[in-house]
Structure 1
Amino acid sequence: MGTGSLFDADLLINPYIPKVYAYYFKQWEDFRMAYHRHDSTEIMYVIQGQCVVEWNEGSAGEASVRLEKGQLILLDANVPHRLVVEQTCRMLNVEFGFTPHSDMFPSVKQFAEEEEALHGMLSARTSYLVLQAPEEVYHALKSLVLELDFQGGDGGVLDRMLLMQLLIRLGRLRSEQGRSRVPSAGAYVKSSISYLLQNYDRPLTVKKIASSVSLHPGYLQRIFKLQTGRTLMEYLTEVRMDKAKMLLVHTDIPVADISDYVGAGSRQYFHALFKKHVRMTPVEYRNTQAKERREEIKR
């Protein structure tokens, strides 16, 4: 008899192999799901947008987490949970479990004996894991579902290999994030800058930026100003103006639309902000840069 739980102690005692039961891409719009549960472990990976996953841990009560692009939650089997999407969220979901070992493919137990991080994850005895997943994790997930589609959903040796590879990657990621659970102030600032560079085209607040790195807004503001000499909003404005200059010089996007591309609000506000920082209007900047390029070509 198999098990749907990733944290079943029997996985480290008896031979099992992993098996995918369901997988799908789905874009959710303004959606509130009813509480439900699966007999299998579920990975929910956010491709675009954001969502909230709520679950019930029994005696520990209810819990929730907000997931954004590049994050995933791994929910154990039979944990009541639901998805809440306030705007838009595109996800990749994979549900899997484990069946008794019956062929030459190495068992989960054998892999765990060789891979310390996998052993640590299987021994966690938790109901969920939330991970900030690098691009390679998404590619591993995508490779797995594409192989399952190629096999007609029945799977084979390669899909078991890809699923084991994914579990090992997740185990290592969990281990790495555990070691850096208390990052330095510099690491928080670096993560904040990375978040700004990836999300400058969206409406951002200090509170939202601080939430992305799990810090109190006031504390993040202090350490950011100390290390960069600028506030979060000043840094964000500089990023937006740099992106605007690049778009004005290297693309044919209409000046009136540039504000939408850099998240600078209304066209009037963007025009005033650009002139304040660059000392010329967006149109003047584009024309000046075009003239300089033409003169360089003539030389």
Structure 2
Amino acid sequence: MKRVLIIYYSHSGDVARAVKSFTKYLNTPEIELTWECIKPKSHYPYPWNLYKFFDVFPECVNGEYPEIYPPEFNQDDKFDLVILAYQVWFLAPSLPIQGFLKSEYAKVFQDTKVITLVVCRNMWHSASETMKKMITEVRGIHIDNVVITHQGPPLATFVTTPWSLLTGKKHRFLGVLPAAGVKDEEINALSRFGERIANNLTALSDCSHQPIFNGLGAVEVNQRYVIPELIGRVIYRPWAKIARFFGQQGSWSRLPIICIFAVHLVFAIPIVLILSAVIQFLFAPLIHKKIASYVEVLKSPIGVS
């Protein structure tokens, strides 16, 4: 019998739906599933309060993770596979997931194969690379990564995703823009990955550390988002440090800085998207190889050359 540990944190419910579909074909007598929903000691409301939504930004970027409640599994337990499902907050793994990976409980990853499942708006690159490093730090073996993103073009999700997070509503915005979140069809299609695992259980025991989702379209990188996200990383870091200088999460002393950042972000995102499109059009011959190389890095889990 193979033992599979499923670790996830779901804020809006999309991650929970995704990971349940992902594991649909793993409910077999040959597999023992252990579920663990991460519970942070800090409260992150859903729907978000507008200020609270932006107030987690500095800690996300700076990696100042919250404490979590002890999980139900024993950290000394040994599993054949860990499936880690998470959201992206401000180009970083969500704070509860960061909290888990920086806790003593992440010892369960040691010398164990790990598959990650990312559910986010559309910019997941930085979070994925951060996650790879965090898994390496706890000596996990990252063999595969699966990514699903919200439906609609970037400028549409720029409206629908925040609207959903602040209201809890996911239907079509004003009857014009697409519904917020991931399409039901994409959620349901995740079951193909669990089916591949169920049909290749021996791969969990070998020493090859090779991916098992080849040919299933686990990661599709939209090159339009590469430059905007790289620019975003550069912009976010100084803002996060400045905001943190003025106080901790929830403190009134940094309220003005957070508000200024929020206004700045509303105007900056459309400008960055347009600017990056111009850059890619004008300098395509010069940057094509570097972007293509970076795309291969994004597609590859740790342990794959």
**Normalising by the residue count of structure 1, what TM-score does the alignment of the two structures yield?**
0.29
Higher relative contact order (CA 8 A, sep 6+): 2
Q: Comparing both structures, which one devotes a greater share of its residues to strand?
A: 1
Structure number with bigger Rg: 1
**Normalising by the residue count of structure 2, what TM-score does the alignment of the two structures yield?**
0.29
